[in-house]
Homo-oligomer: A and B are copies of this chain.
Amino acid sequence: MNDEKKGLTRRDFLKATGGATALAGAAAGGIFLSSSDSSAAELPKKWDEEFDVVVVGSGFAGLAAAIEAKNSGCSVTILEKMRTPGGNSIINGGIVAAAGSPLQDREGIKDTPELMYEDMLKAGLGLNHPDLAMTVAEKSNEAVQWTINYLGVQYKDRVAHLGGHSEPRSYTTYNQSGSAIVRKELDKVRSLGMNVRTQVFLSKLLTDGDGIVRGVKIHEGYIFPKADSGAVKNIKAKKAVVLATGGFGNDIIFRSIEDPRLTKDTGCTNQPGATAEGLINALRIGATPVQLSWIQLGPWASPDEKGLGISPIFAVYSAFPYGVMIDPSTGKRFVNELADRKVRSDAIIKTGRISIGIADAEGAKHSSHLMDKMLKRGSVKKFDSLEKLAAEYKINIQGLKETIAKYNQFVQEKNDRDFGKPIRNDAKQLIQPPFYAMRLWPKVHHCMGGVQINKSAQVISLDHVPIPRLYGAGEVCGGVHGACRLGSVAVPDCLVFGRIAGKKAALERSWA
């Protein structure tokens, strides 16, 4: 790179964009009108209930916010529109990135928040809001240690190496599910004297004439997705509202406005309640939308299961790190199986064919605890020989044999000369029958976009200043991940900003 180079370093980003505070400063003397000009909303004459902090959403982020607010001495209510708590988090894969963790130390892996940040920006194509991405990277280890030491979450004793991460840095819950974290958060919520109020729908964020968030209008006894179901109530938020309503991956109308390719025919890994109303409520009161059209597809999804399913476990723990993914028409690999999600999903779609992920008996050990279940479902299949495997999926057998011979050489040399996949130290040649395989086609998985927040989890208005008394955390917010979220960074994102939101909300001064 010569002196003409225009690439931007992190320092440039921070200097130039400077986070919301600097933006607000710049705007103050600038072209934007103040929010005092915004239309006066009507507050209810009488509130049905009141709490210091109202948390909307009961996934990783909402529960973390509730716990922190409660521990700061607040009265807290947690609202959940679905019949059961946990949102999308409870069906999450339970993999949690943490940079510079004790588990990494034990394995001799050198890692830093800066390295994780660089990985996030590389995957995010530089669209990440630098201060938000750095906040998650810096606090990722603290967040996972909080789940261990404070919540009692149990993890496996090895760090996983996920696609797009330059080092193995991801904790995996003992049951390979986010439920291991959500259940412990729910236990803590209960032990602190709170509960999650299910079937309560946020129908409006209530603001006063100055645009300050004063409470929420809800439908109690709401039956998803019936807009008019449930009884209307108004809850006063004496300190703040925390919006933790998640992504809109299952909102077919909203997602296809932002990305018209994602019609109803595209699969989705999310729970049915992953719809856009929470986000839309924030936009209605002037929250700034960020990067809504970046919607992530998961490359490890099976067209033979509904939703997320369980076979992604085979893809992520066996086929991708210890095996190969091939195009059946050629029998050839076509991408680094550990590239980031966007690269892999785009590559699969470009082939125009459902890809096949393959591991041998050795590789399959890494997903052995669920293998019986996956085999029973038929989303993963087992074969005595490569020939039988090839016959089942109509794979070009000559191409496949060449691919595997070549790949085995790469394993021996610890160097993937074709696609640069990092070969793990414990990787073995693909020779040991039985062989296992699954079909792969991307599904809608994560919404990178959402409302703008700053490092303090304050939701930012179209005037480039915080909307008073409104905090946001988790997938409803945009900017942390830029164009593409790395696997296992969703959980630290939710936990870090959920905790910040809860603590900051508690610091607001109560109003009469």
Q: Chain A interface (Cβ within 8 Å of chain B)?
A: 1-2, 4-8, 12-13, 15-17, 23, 26-27, 30-33, 37-42, 126-130, 203-204, 207, 224-227, 253, 256-261, 263-265, 275, 277, 280, 283-284, 286, 288-294, 329, 349, 352-354, 441, 449, 452, 462, 464, 479, 482
Contact = CB atoms under 8 A, between A and B. Distances in A.
19 contacts: A2-B329, A6-B352, A7-B352, A16-B264, A17-B257, A27-B253, A30-B225, A31-B275, A32-B280, A33-B203, A39-B207, A127-B259, A130-B260, A257-B288, A257-B452, A280-B462, A283-B286, A292-B292, A293-B294
Given A1-B353, A31-B275, A33-B227, 5 more contacts: A13-B263, A23-B253, A32-B277, A40-B42, A289-B292
A16 B130 CA distance: 36
A272 B261 CA distance: 34
B293 A127 contact: yes
A218 to B, nearest CB: 12
Question: What copy number does this chain have within its complex?
Answer: 2
A482 to B, nearest CB: 8
Given A5-B353, A260-B17, A227 B38 contact: no
Most chain-B Cβ atoms within 10 A of its Cβ — which of A39, A260, A290? A260
A265 to B, nearest CB: 6
B42 A260 contact: no
Contacts of A253: 23, 26-27, 30, 464
Contacts of A13: 260-261, 263
A38 B280 CA distance: 12
A329 B4 CA distance: 11
A336 B143 CA distance: 47
A38 B206 CA distance: 11
Contacts of A30: 225, 227, 253
Chain A interface SS verdict (over half)? loop
A283 B39 contact: no
B349 A441 contact: no
Contact of A289 (B8, B27, B284, B289): B289
The 7 closest A-B pairs by CB, nearest first: A16-B263, A39-B41, A31-B225, A291-B293, A289-B289, A4-B354, A5-B352
A395 to B, nearest CB: 12
Contact of A260 (B4, B126, B227): B126
Given A13-B260, A27-B253, A31-B275, A289 B280 contact: no
A12 B288 contact: no
Most chain-B Cβ atoms within 10 A of its Cβ — which of A13, A39, A352? A39
A451 to B, nearest CB: 11
A293 B259 CA distance: 12
A225 B16 CA distance: 20
Contacts of A284: 38, 286, 462
Contacts of A288: 257
Contacts of A264: 16
A461 to B, nearest CB: 9
Given A39-B40, A203-B37, A263-B8, A290 B293 contact: yes
Contacts of A260: 13, 17, 126-130, 479, 482
Nearest to A35: B284
A347 to B, nearest CB: 13
A16 B264 CA distance: 7
A84 to B, nearest CB: 18
A353 B203 CA distance: 52
B37 A204 contact: yes
B31 A261 contact: no
A352 B13 CA distance: 17
A8 B352 CA distance: 11
A148 B88 CA distance: 56
A2 B353 contact: yes
A349 B38 CA distance: 41
A284 B462 CA distance: 8
B349 A17 contact: no
A509 B33 CA distance: 32
Given A1-B352, A253-B27, A227 B293 contact: no
Nearest to A37: B204
Contacts of A353: 1-2, 4-5
Contacts of A27: 253
A13 B225 CA distance: 25
